[in-house]
Amino acid sequence: MSGERRRREPKGFTDRELDIMSVLWREGSGTVAEVRDALGEEVGYTTVLKMLQILEEKGAVGHEQEGRAYRYFPLVESERAGG
């Protein structure tokens, strides 16, 4: 899905998913490490990675490769998700 930035309808989000989506909506995009830092709480790198993968499966985020990392970006608008 690299490079595709189509807007999609969201499928229900959990509280943690909404936290992560809020970071992406606010910042526009982020790597796993950037999202983790922006959450400002004790949450593991692999937890954030897994949540971003789940959000991508739901069609809520996409990613582009940036060096060795992936940069994730929202594919749904915050207004449509209640964010």
Give the CATH number of the domain where residue 40 resides. 1.10.10.10
Q: Is there a domain that residue 61 lies in?
A: yes
The count of domains in the chain is 1
* 7 part of a folded domain: no
Whole-number pLDDT of residue 42: 87
Residue 57 falls within a domain, yes or no?
yes
Specify if 3 maps to a domain: no
Which amino acid is located at 54 in the chain? I
Six-digit token string for 80: 């449509």
Q: pLDDT digits over 2-23, tens only?
A: 555 555 545 589 999 999 999 9
- Residue 81: other Cβ atoms inside 10 A: 19
Q: Answer whether 63's CB lies under 8 Å from 3's CB.
A: no
Q: What's residue 75's pLDDT?
A: 98
Average pLDDT, the chain: 88
Specify if 50 maps to a domain: yes
Report if residue 66 sits inside a domain.
yes
**Is 0.95 topped by the overall pTM?**
no
Domain that holds residue 40: 15-76
Interior angle at CA 1, CA 20 and CA 50, nearest 5: 35
pLDDT on residue 80 = 61
1 found inside a domain: no
Q: Is 75 helix (H, G, I), strand (E, B) or coil?
A: coil
50-67, pLDDT tens digit by residue? 999 999 999 999 999 999
